[in-house]
Amino acid sequence: MASSSTAQILPVELWQRQVRPPLPPPDHAPLAPMRLLSPRELEIAALVADGMANKEIGLTLGISHWTVSAHLRRIFIKLEIGRRIDLCLLYRGTEADRPAHGRS
């Protein structure tokens, strides 16, 4: 029995992914750890933060999902993180990573 992760992407879905507008830049300067990443790693981090799976990222960038995995391993090592959600939080610079306004 094939798992849902091996399901084929329909041509319409592929087209929608290809014409998806690029992510806007974060509304803040990149956090210091993000400066450690190469331009390609930043591109992949942005797509992960947008909620894309490795296969989707690979299709979007025209690379193998295995190559995406290799980039993510290097990103995780450089940023000293172990989960995709940690990457999302770092990329987006969520309120959890910043001091709350009006609080000490």
| Alpha carbons within 13 A on the beta-carbon side of 8 | 3
Query: What are the tens digits of pLDDT across the range 50-62?
Result: 999 999 999 999 9
**Would you list the domain boundaries of the chain?**
31-95
Domain 31-95, CATH class in plain words: mainly alpha
**Residue 56: per-residue pLDDT:** 97
Q: Residue 93: pLDDT above 90?
A: no
What's this model's pTM, rounded to 2 decimal places? Answer: 0.61
Residue type, 51: G
Q: Above 90 in pLDDT, residue 32?
A: no
* Residue with token string 């001091």: 99
**Residue matched to tokens 């894309």:** 52
**From its phi and psi, is residue 51 left (phi > 0), alpha (psi between -120 and 50) or beta?**
left
d(CA 23, CA 46) in angstroms, rounded, equals 7
